[in-house]
């Protein structure tokens, strides 16, 4: 653990909260610097500025002034050997006093030092209290809000009869009662400029993407005078982009799609190192595509999303895909979750209503038995019973009917559909107790989650922090299987064995961190006979790898995992997962790579393993959140093992990521 760094220039509240670990030295330095530039010496204003900097560093877009007392000790700050400070005992200033000081501050209003306004205050409205922004993030949020409103003001012109026929063709295997939400997603993409397709693991998001593209391609081909549809596939990371590309290409022949290439968002926008305009594509040089699909959108920050929206032509369809309940971007913002939870933007589309209306003209919006319409203050988790991973709710429509609202769509879902938002609900990747556990965690039901874990069984288990027998056995078994396949040159078998078990941690360092558990797992594997062939061996068969930098030309991406295998001629190659065929590269081609037996839960996003062992830190850890636990649980296909105390589980489920944003409020 690292000790607290004290900013020497900090005084008063800045000093007290810095020494307590609530503020970092960097937070204090930025606040003091802003005060000097703007000739502001109010202790309350400088304290609020430091908290706004900390908010961004912690992933929020802004600071909710009314909730500033809820801010805890920074996860990266601690006192070596000293007891922690309870933030509730600190001298927090009154919110009204801080807001009054901010209203008069030259950092908000501008002053004699010039027009510099590094802080923005958005006053209270019916949706909540005042928000304090660093100006950069306020401008980015406004850019995104304006783009959403403008893109929702009208709709694409479509041939509804053709779209209905294509929906029937593409979703011909959708049988059963209730709505097929994959089909709904395709209908939305045809009728909206901006579509959000939300869904948990295994709900068929990439399956849906491919069919959306097939629908739009067929619609374009029906107008011979128009050029072929220009499609861009993108994701926030190279690994996610490669996975999206493979998933779409696997379905391309069946659906009549052209060969498509995915890229990172940075590459799509044309990253320019050292240029005044960060990206080649922007508001004055728009992207040349008719359709842009972004996968893993939960990992996209506000900054990147504002750049993307600025670079889109008004007539470009944008399809955002991801799981809003997973961990959000490392940088500020949780845009996908905000869009799903926020107010519906845009005007109703008669074409969508025509597609949703049954053959008899029914367009009711009742709620099916057992489906909640939702209430309370968190619209992101309304209709948990309907949207839960385990329940799914209806597998689709008959091939010869339109998408029906009927009595199986809640009023909330209908409102979301009008705004271009749909949540896929039918989990196909896993079920049983893993799904029940994920739903309980997502719903914030600690009692139900603990009951599932205590009961145990074939697919879930709970171990105390010192009970490592089961995880050691799984680590050793997986390592031996990987090594056996790698020695035989079986790249497919080695990669499959590598995904049979994964050890996940919340922290990087400390007794519950990746560094310690990775070292222990490597020792367990070596003791079992799966380790280096000699003390000098840099590479060895069965060695698990994690790529930590991109090399686009070599098709190697940050976050890729792989394994060293021995070829028939005795040489070594690294096998990386690439669809059905592994991608083999020489180990020296890696831009940066480490041996990995354990990884952070953040790193695991987008991946799946047969068994997952999750190491939870102590309850006091601010990294321990509901989103973190949900993400870890949903990495598993067949078994989840939670290593930790019941108090840690309760703390995780009770603690939500506090990512303040104005996007969830009405304009």
* Nearest residue to 637 (alpha-carbon basis) of 127, 202, 18, 281: 202
456 is in an annotated binding site: no
Packing angle, helices 181-191 and 160-170, rounded to 10: 150
204 is in an annotated binding site: yes
662 is in an annotated binding site: no
First to last CA, the chain: 43
What 168-172 contacts at long range (C-beta under 8 Å, 24+ apart), as own/partner pairs, is 168/399, 168/400, 168/401, 170/211, 170/214, 170/215, 170/255, 171/211, 171/396, 171/397, 171/399, 172/399
Provide the CB-side half-sphere exposure for 18 (13 A, CA).
24
Chain CA centroid to CA 250, Å = 24
**Cα distances (angstroms) measured from residue 571 to each of 487, 529, 533, 584, 588:** 11, 21, 14, 12, 12
Distance CA 604, CA 398 (A): 37
Residue 411 near residue 365, CB atoms below 8 Å? yes
81 is annotated as contributing to ligand binding: no
Is 89 annotated as contributing to ligand binding?
no
* CA dihedral for 41, 45, 47, 50, sign (positive or negative): negative
Task: Give the containing element (helix H, strand E) for 610.
Answer: strand 609-615
* Helix, strand or coil, per DSSP, at residue 136: helix
List the one residue out of 34, 264, 14, 279 whose CA is nearest residue 136.
Answer: 34
239 is in an annotated binding site: no
Q: In which element (H, E) is residue 593 found?
A: strand 593-595
Q: How far apart are CA 113 and CA 372, in angstroms?
A: 55
Q: Return the H-helix or E-strand segment holding 442.
A: helix 432-443
Q: Which residues pair with 594 in a beta bridge?
A: 546
Is residue 405 within 8 A of residue 355, CB to CB? The reply is no
* Residue 205 known to bind ligand: yes
203 annotated as ligand-binding: yes
644 phi-psi bin (left φ>0, alpha ψ -120 to 50, beta other): left
Inter-axis angle of helices 469-487 and 514-527, to 10 degrees? 60
Residues contributing to the annotated binding site: 199-206
Residues contributing to the annotated binding site for ATP: 199-206
């Amino acid at each position: 653990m690292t000790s607290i760094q004290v900013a020497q220039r900090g005084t008063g509240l800045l000093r007290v909260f810095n020494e307590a670990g609530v503020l970092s030295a960097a937070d204090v330095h930025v606040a003091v610097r802003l005060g000097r530039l703007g000739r502001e010496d109010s202790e309350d204003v400088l304290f609020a500025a430091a908290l706004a900097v900390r908010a961004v560093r912690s992933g929020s877009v802004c600071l909710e002034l009314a909730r500033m007392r809820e801010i805890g000790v920074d996860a990266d700050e601690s006192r070596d050997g000293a007891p922690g400070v309870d933030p509730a005992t600190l001298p927090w200033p009154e919110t009204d006093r801080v807001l009054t000081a901010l209203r008069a501050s030259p950092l908000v209003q501008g002053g004699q030092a010039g027009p510099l306004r590094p802080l923005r205050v958005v006053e209270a409205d019916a949706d909540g209290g005042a928000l304090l922004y660093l100006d950069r993030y306020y401008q980015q949020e406004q850019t995104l809000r304006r783009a959403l409103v403008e893109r929702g003001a009208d709709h694409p012109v479509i041939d509804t009869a053709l779209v209905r026929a294509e929906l029937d063709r593409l979703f011909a295997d959708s049988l059963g009662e209730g709505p097929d939400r994959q089909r709904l997603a395709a209908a939305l993409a045809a009728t909206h400029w901006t579509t959000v397709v939300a869904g948990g693991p295994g709900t068929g998001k990439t399956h849906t993407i491919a069919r959306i593209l097939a629908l739009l391609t067929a619609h374009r081909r029906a107008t011979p005078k128009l050029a072929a549809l220009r499609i861009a596939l993108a994701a926030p990371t190279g690994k996610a982009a490669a996975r999206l590309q493979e998933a779409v290409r696997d379905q391309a022949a069946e659906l009549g799609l052209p060969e498509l290439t995915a890229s990172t968002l940075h590459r799509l926008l044309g990253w320019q190192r050292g240029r005044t305009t960060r990206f080649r594509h922007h508001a004055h040089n728009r992207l040349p595509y008719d359709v842009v699909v972004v996968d893993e959108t939960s990992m996209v920050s506000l900054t990147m999303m504002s750049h993307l929206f600025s670079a889109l032509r008004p007539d470009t369809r944008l399809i955002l895909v991801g799981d809003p309940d997973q961990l959000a971007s490392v940088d500020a913002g949780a845009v996908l979750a905000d869009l799903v939870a926020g107010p519906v933007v845009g005007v109703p589309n008669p074409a969508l209503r025509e597609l949703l209306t049954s053959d008899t003209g029914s367009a009711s919006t009742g709620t099916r038995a057992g489906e909640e319409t939702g209430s309370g203050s968190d619209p992101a988790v309304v209709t948990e019973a309907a949207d839960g991973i385990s329940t799914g709710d209806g597998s689709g429509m008959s091939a010869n009917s339109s998408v029906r609202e009927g009595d199986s769509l809640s009023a909330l879902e209908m409102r979301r559909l009008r705004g271009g938002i749909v949540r896929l609900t039918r989990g196909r990747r896993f079920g049983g107790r893993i799904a029940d556990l994920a739903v309980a965690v997502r719903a914030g039901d600690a009692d139900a989650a603990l009951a599932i874990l205590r009961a145990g069984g074939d697919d879930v288990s709970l171990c105390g922090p010192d009970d490592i027998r089961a995880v050691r056995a799984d680590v050793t078994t997986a390592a031996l299987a990987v090594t056996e396949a790698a020695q035989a040159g079986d790249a497919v078998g080695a990669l499959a064995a590598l995904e049979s078990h994964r050890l996940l941690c919340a922290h990087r360092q400390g007794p519950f961190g990746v560094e310690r558990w990775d070292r222990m797992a490597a020792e367990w594997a070596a003791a079992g006979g799966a380790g280096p062939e000699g003390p000098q061996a840099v590479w060895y068969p069965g060695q698990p790898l994690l790529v930590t930098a991109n090399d686009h030309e070599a098709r190697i991406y940050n976050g890729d995992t792989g394994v060293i295998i021995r070829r028939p001629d005795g040489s070594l190659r690294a096998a990386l997962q690439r669809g059905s065929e592994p991608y083999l590269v020489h180990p020296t081609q890696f831009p940066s790579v480490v041996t990995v037996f354990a990884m952070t839960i953040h790193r695991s996003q987008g991946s799946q393993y047969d068994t997952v062992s999750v190491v939870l830190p102590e309850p006091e850890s601010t990294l321990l959140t509901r989103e973190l636990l949900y993400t870890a649980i949903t990495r598993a296909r067949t078994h989840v093992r939670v290593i930790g105390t019941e108090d840690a589980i309760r703390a995780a489920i009770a603690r939500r990521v506090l990512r303040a944003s104005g996007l969830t409020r009405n304009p």
